[in-house]
Amino acid sequence: MRTRRTLAPLAAALGLIVAVPVAGGALRGSDPSAHAAGSGAAPLIPSIVNTRILRTQAALARAGRYADHGQTAQSIAALNAARAQAKFAWNAAKYVIKTSPPSPAGDALPDGDPAASAYAGREDTAFAALSVQHDVVATTTGLITQVGAKNKALRKSWINAISSSQATRNAAVAFIRTRKLPGTFPTVMPNLVPLVNDELKELNGRMKMTGFNGTLRKSLLNSRTRALKTRRLVNRYWPPAPAD
């Protein structure tokens, strides 16, 4: 699970909507509602991105439910919706990146500073949009079955969901890097590595345990290659801080 830096609580107490944890919490049956936004809690993701993230997660949940009930056509539609919403989330995050000022670094805005916003800065917002791409990949990978792969439409929906989300994420990493954006991206972006590692573990584990073959195996190997590329890019662009 990724961590989101708390910018600061509102100076005035305020009722706010908090983003569902981006790293798939809702999909794992946890309480989908209500996450603290108080001191030490996650900031709120701006609505322009948050609505897309929530719709992605909702669609992923539907895809899983339909898959569990053997409703293939509906599962495909839900997966396609999730893929589209995740892409829209990143498009919206790009807008936020382009139109918002960089977040102050470090403790420039200590907790309790009234100037701090309850909403996440552009860096955390971008990361939320990247995290939801991981959600799509992870959930879709979990939906894959060897039997289901015989259905070409279903197989294509899985592969498209995974490859599209990974491609969006890689493009996003490149976008953030090439713009040389000021702000806290160097602090936030390394948090992508654990997510990618988790993704790699899932891909490796599923291939090992289920023994997919044919086109499906090839596609999963491609997914693994793309995940490795993401990790390589992140580590190269925002290298981890050396241990003391």
Binding site for other proteins (CB under 8 A): 9-20, 26-27, 29-39, 41, 44, 46-48, 50-52, 54-55, 57-62, 65, 74, 77-78, 81, 85, 91-92, 95-96, 99, 111-112, 114-115, 117-119
Report the candidate in 102, 234, 83 with the shortest Cα–Cα distance to residue 173: 234
Q: Please check whether residue 133 is in contact with residue 2, taking contact to mean a CB–CB distance below 8 angstroms.
A: no
Q: Which is nearer to other proteins, 86 or 130 (CB)?
A: 86
What DSSP line would sit under 203-243, residue for residue?
Answer: HHHHHHHH---HHHHHHHHHHHHHHHHHHHHHHHHSPPPPP
**Closer Cβ to other proteins, 11 or 105, answer by number:** 11
CB of 195 to other proteins, least distance (A): 20
CB of 65 to other proteins, least distance (A): 7
Nearest to other proteins of 74, 222 (CB atom) = 74
Question: What 8-state DSSP symbol labels residue 120?
Answer: -
User: 66 or 158: whose CB is closer to other proteins?
Assistant: 66
Supply the minimum distance, in Å, between the C-beta of residue 201 and other proteins: 24
Q: Is the CB of 33 or the CB of 178 nearer to other proteins?
A: 33
Does residue 60 contact residue 22 with C-beta atoms inside 8 Å? no
Shortest spacing between CB 36 and other proteins, in angstroms: 5
Minimum distance from residue 202 beta carbon to other proteins (Å): 20
Strand partners, 119: 44
CB contact at 8 A, 103 and 124: yes
Which residues lie across from 156 on neighbouring strands? none
Distance from C-alpha of 30 to C-alpha of 176, rounded to nearest angstrom: 32
